[in-house]
Chains A and B, each alone.
Chain A
């Protein structure tokens, strides 16, 4: 029986939706609608990502929390050998984490990183856990945006101080130093300067918790400028728990100040260290709790990039030892006068250190938080062990190639440009990732005609090209001419591949096009930006400490997209809020941004996606967070930008980075935001967050793999996620959503199978999961079925039941996995499992042949059926004949093993019958003798049939083991078996038949008379299982 799938769906809909068929009101789509469609993280963790804050238990330094810039909070109870994320339901940007050292289950987290680089994420306040990170409660200060430090009163856990930096891109009053005396229920702002000044660092006198020190910092970032310093900056002290404050000025710089770091020496609270950014940034030390100060060091080691590194960490034991985290980790052993790099015995640590934790019990043991993950040292920082299991890489952009399996490409903050496979032997490991180019990484693409050609870039528009085979490095960026003047490239400069050819576009303020892989460029636009000279003063950016890394480059092109329907139609969005379109390949351009309703002027265009179904259609997102505006701006036009419709809805919680239209269903849209991925099933009418395994991570870029229908996400904080096969999402129409039960179609098999061994990753290394090799059987249910029986059965087309599968249903999309393999052959039973039988087990059951099968779901009284097709892996090099040849020989081995199992059953039936008759009173001596002779003959045969000694490394092999081994090795390989295997099968078949005959003869000779004799003596005789009964036991 074979029903057309469409008919099945139609019937199921009718059955379930009742007489009206389609419900009148729109079905609300929620996160649970997406059901079992899950994201899987593939890493990479090799280079990890920025760690901002680390705290460990002084009583057990292996118990550690790791706060990351945008990848969440992680916990380890074994010093980082195994780590796990514990904060994924909340905001992933962590500014500060503090354990209550007296009550280790109490942990405070301040969200929002305080190292205020251009690409920094945002926070949502303070959180507290009282159960070791299992559950977190928001404790307020939601509008503080970023938190630099949290300190808990050593005697009263209800007293907690929070240093709030406040908004980076705007003014705001929720900043300064906050104190709670009731465990976080209420907060008092105990130190405040103005709406531009936050608390950059804070510390408490460990012997007298009433004595407090706070560093205040005036700062502001815009899209085109950073300013550190202002009248609000300064160092403050309180001796009454924060009731009153005095600014410390004696011996300290008098003029304008910038970021301030302040720490008390845990070894001697009279010792204070402060770094004060000024026109001569310096380290100062006080030996009298701040009454007087001595300037110790003004070198670049102390003064470098205060917004990123203004931190000083005194050793907890030795007052003469003090650490300065910076580009590298520096240490002074003379109290702060001279510094050197801590590393000498190896010392390979990723640059850019943001936090350092030191054990009081053993000050050689320390954790360092870097731009490339967390490091552990047990020798004062001389050498370091890297955590290879922290997948917090920060992607800016992501792309895919068409290899099998396909690779994912992308670039990372401070960590270069990379490619890694979407699946790999034994899982996707750190060593599967390959690096290209140098510098920070952003967009990475391959040439569609030659995947060995990789385009990458480093910051500020330095586009490069590498041939994968040789790791060659060729700079291909367009350069300024007399005609163009200075070119302006964004930090994350725009590059785009044509969707239909190998044309490459890059954007400065002009748009450039190359048809020869970057050897030459044609400028195809005038300046498409506002060209506002006030936003082009980057050489002055930084404030007190000039910092012109290209991070503030502005009035540049940020997005470029050629229409897949017409290569003359190109859309360009700029970082200063222009939105330009050409329909003649760049001869003429129209700035259509003024047509977009509700969009504030000069809002950064974060993405553009030309519609795939109608020329003139485009989607765009705008991101105002650099103007302190996190409103989602999402728009669609269908008329080349003349009119626009907003697609934003209240479900979307923050600013948006990327919009994508599905390749098949134009109503299916994906939206990447600062706080996770959103999906719309109705062209942007309503949105729901996609949560399954995907945290609230910043989704900066995404792409749909056109062959495999996977959605590939580049996240800024948690590496790459893949949502395998989004085709069920494409089918979530209103009709389906209203249904009680509907089967869903899924993709034809793609080159899924990564078989073969992969050297398994150990505890301390991240492994990305491969997609399941089983066949997902997908259906949608409006509601979970919890009470009453629900089963799924698979039949072949001759109506033979093949298997019954467990169904644990849920609301939304369900998937039941079917591994299409038969049960393995039954083998003679023994308590011994020697090596050969393990090989047989690894071979498993025979795969079901490709073709049609029927799935039947029974839910209480209802029945739903569907026919689906099982395919051979299209990319394996075996012909149908070879597969059949293997199957035939495999079947022979299978039958031989089952034959042996039956032979063993017969032997055991007789042996049991004989031994049960041992004490029969009426047994004659002659009969006893016959019985014993048969017993020992059977025992002897059985000794040749199978290994019965325990232990798998005895090297024993009998007939069972020989057949099992051969069967297993044939099963490993899907192609034609070797001649050796054929010959061996013939030999073993002969041996099995011979043994069968031997047993037949033995039983024929003596069993009949023994059986009679036993009956005569009052016994039960001997019953042998028939082959029919034996086969029926299956």
Chain B
């Protein structure tokens, strides 16, 4: 009488074993080939401008990253400018919404996120050298598309799950689990509008979700590469 359940369980088993047999390296190769990683490796700086949409409100943003690991993000919010940056050594921010225009140090998971964003190549590229571990966990359906599930256990112990569309080898979703003080938080990014930037393909729209609900969507209007950028903009300024 319970035949249907058994069939579905068997199917689930089969799906797991088939996908586990796939070669992780081959999938990664395909992915990097698709997005044009070779081109990206030659890029020295990336500058993206656009807007962050939060609860129907647009906030213009600008992100600049420079090799090897520098990044600066500015978001204009209601006439105030919020800055987050990392110069390779110090992660810092200025947030007038928090009552001060003095730069303050950013630590913990927030800093980790910023530092990771400063890595132009992405966390999957040379993941071993970065001290991460990567496993292919099988496939899963993501919003109607079949996707490889790649589990990246990062050097700091936090885990990212990359959901890569099996058809296109593009990342559809990134689920990040962060441990802080022994408690776990989870965030999701949904990627879309992949477009060409001088031979490199990147997602121009990223929807950020917490607890299953959309918190913010980032829309990039323009992405430029190899713009001249002075190192000083990444450094933490002195107090006002």
Contact = CB atoms under 8 A, between A and B. Distances in A.
A650 interface: yes
B144 A142 contact: no
A954 to B, nearest CB: 10
B119 interface: no
A824 B78 contact: yes
A138 B12 contact: yes
B94 to A, nearest CB: 8
A343 interface: no
Interface in A803-825: 803-812, 817-821, 823-824
Given A789-B204, A818-B56, A135 B99 contact: no
Contact of B96 (A809, A820, A833): A833
A124 interface: yes
B78 A806 contact: no
B143 A811 contact: yes
Contact of A833 (B80, B144, B183): B80
Contact of A629 (B1, B101, B159): B1
Interface string A952-967: 1100000000000000
Nearest to A951: B99
Given A786-B172, A787-B168, A788-B195, A142 B9 contact: yes
A143 B2 contact: yes
Given A124-B9, A654-B4, A828 B143 contact: no
Interface string B168-190: 10101000010000111000001
Given A654-B5, A810-B143, A831 B101 contact: yes
A650 B7 CA distance: 10
A652 B2 CA distance: 11
B192 A807 contact: yes
Nearest to B145: A784
Interface stretch (B25-33, B36-44, B205-213, B227-235): B205-213
Contact of B184 (A77, A653, A953): A77
B153 to A, nearest CB: 9
B226 interface: no
Interface residues of A, number: 72
Which of B57, B102, B193, B207 has its CB near the most chain A CB atoms (within 10 A)? B193
Contacts of B183: 77-78, 82
A35 interface: yes
B137 interface: yes
A805 B79 CA distance: 21
B58 interface: yes
A461 interface: no
A549 B4 CA distance: 34
Contacts of B143: 32, 35, 784, 810-812
A774 interface: yes
A588 interface: no
Interface in A99-151: 124-125, 134-135, 137-138, 142-143
A435 interface: no
Interface in A765-807: 769, 774, 783-790, 803-807
B8 interface: yes
Given A143-B2, A804-B219, A811-B145, A788 B96 contact: no
B56 A807 contact: no
Contact of B194 (A62, A788, A951): A788
A827 interface: yes
Contacts of A60: 182
Given A788-B193, A819-B56, A951-B100, A808 B80 contact: no
Which of A786, A832, A953 has its CB near the most chain B CB atoms (within 10 A)? A786
A675 B4 CA distance: 12
A507 B183 CA distance: 51
A809 B192 contact: yes
A774 B217 CA distance: 15
B87 interface: no
Contact of A650 (B4, B172, B192, B204): B4
Contact of A630 (B2, B58, B191, B201): B2
Contacts of A807: 192-193, 205
Contact of A628 (B1, B207, B219): B1
A804 B50 CA distance: 11
Given A35-B144, A788-B194, A790-B192, A142 B6 contact: yes
B141 interface: yes
B144 to A, nearest CB: 3
Nearest to B4: A653
Nearest to B190: A808
B99 A830 contact: no
Given A124-B5, A831-B101, A950-B96, A787 B78 contact: no
Nearest to B12: A138
Given A630-B1, A806-B205, A821 B192 contact: no
Interface in B30-89: 53, 55-58, 78-81
A964 B9 CA distance: 60
A683 interface: no
Contacts of A805: 53
Interface residues of B, number: 57
Given A807-B193, A824-B78, A832-B96, A784 B1 contact: no
Contacts of A787: 168, 170, 194-195, 201
A938 B240 CA distance: 22
A367 B38 CA distance: 55
B217 A806 contact: yes
A748 to B, nearest CB: 20
A334 interface: no
Contacts of A31: 141
Nearest to A832: B96
Contacts of B141: 31-32
Interface string A44-81: 00000000000000001011000000000000011000
Contacts of A818: 56
Interface in A931-972: 950-953
B188 to A, nearest CB: 11
Interface in A618-663: 628-631, 650, 652-654
A142 B80 CA distance: 59
Contacts of A810: 143-145
A829 B79 contact: yes
B2 A808 contact: no
B213 A769 contact: yes
Interface in A649-690: 650, 652-654, 675
A783 B80 CA distance: 40
A808 B207 contact: yes
B215 interface: no
Nearest to A77: B183
Contacts of B79: 826-830, 837
Contacts of B219: 804, 806
Contact of B144 (A631, A811, A828): A811
B217 to A, nearest CB: 4
A317 interface: no
A149 to B, nearest CB: 22
Contacts of A138: 9, 12-13
Contacts of A826: 79
A841 interface: yes
Given A653-B4, A817-B56, 15 more contacts: A78-B182, A134-B177, A650-B4, A783-B144, A786-B172, A804-B219, A808-B207, A810-B145, A817-B214, A819-B56, A823-B58, A828-B79, A829-B79, A831-B101, A832-B96
14 contacts: A31-B141, A78-B183, A124-B5, A142-B2, A650-B4, A654-B5, A786-B194, A790-B192, A805-B53, A806-B219, A808-B193, A819-B55, A832-B101, A841-B78
Interface of A: 30-33, 35, 60, 62-63, 77-78, 82, 124-125, 134-135, 137-138, 142-143, 628-631, 650, 652-654, 675, 693, 769, 774, 783-790, 803-812, 817-821, 823-824, 826-833, 837, 841, 844-845, 950-953
9 smallest CB-CB distances across A and B, nearest first, come from A819-B56, A811-B144, A32-B144, A810-B143, A831-B101, A806-B217, A808-B192, A808-B207, A827-B79
